[in-house]
Amino acid sequence: MTHPTRPTRHYDYIGEGQDIYVNSFAAIRLAADLASVPPDAEKVAVRMIHGSGQVDLVGDLVIHPQLVSAARGALEAGAPILCDATMVATGVTRRRLPRDNEVLCFLNDGRVADLAKAWGTTRTAAAVWLWEPLLEGAVVAIGNAPTALFHLLEMIIDGAPRPAAIVGCPVGFIGAAESKQELIDLHDRHGIDIPYLTVLGRRGGSAMTSSALNALALEQE
């Protein structure tokens, strides 16, 4: 293999990663109306907009007033991050984690396929059941399957250990909006108050979710 040689530069663009972040975040703050976002969650909103490229996302964000303190406190105490999808887990920047926290996804666990078949649900939802021994005080991140969020909420209603915070941003046309509304209504309907972040409607996804986690993990942008 030959020694790597940078290709001839034919275009005028910002190449340094940190410079891209700084300029992107500045552009987002100019374009987005962040007035409705809790002050301590502004950087979370900015990173989610950055990860999705959607400035109007801020209008659909629903952020519990204790989200940032609960999630950051849990991570600083060493809590794991439990992810519904490998894409969410992969999107977490490990160097931002304050305690080299575990980032776990059980989707490929050997028990999942049989559970999903027996319960008549998705593999992603079945994998959530494997979180139970780790749920107490964990940070939960759901960025793909509405069934995973429904299943998590059902477990909690049935008495499962409670996570410190839930980043609940499943995406899609079937069940996404409904599952996120149930997360919002968890306190009013069931008396269970767990700090959360979600996005109204069909939008969501792994990029938004991992962006939120990266902001929650470290105050510094």
Cβ atoms within 10 Å, residue 169: 31
Tell me, what amino acid is at 55?
V
How do 196-199 and 61-63 pair as beta strands? antiparallel
Q: Given 50, 64, 151, 190, which residue is catalytic?
A: 50
Given the structure tokens 């007033």, which residue do they identify?
A: 65
Is residue 10 annotated as part of the catalytic site, yes or no? no
Q: Are 183 and 198 in contact (CB under 8 A)?
A: yes
Domain positions in the chain are: 17-217
Structure token pair of residue 165: 């915070």
CATH architecture of 17-217: 3-Layer(aba) Sandwich (3.40)
pLDDT, position 221: 81
pTM exceeds 0.85 for this model: yes
pLDDT along the chain (221 residues), means of 10: 87 92 94 95 97 95 98 98 98 97 97 96 96 98 97 98 98 97 98 98 97 95 81
Q: Tell me if residue 15 falls in helix, strand or coil.
A: coil
pLDDT, position 2: 79
Say if residue 155 is exposed, middle or buried (CB neighbours under 10 Å; 0-12, 13-18, 19+): middle
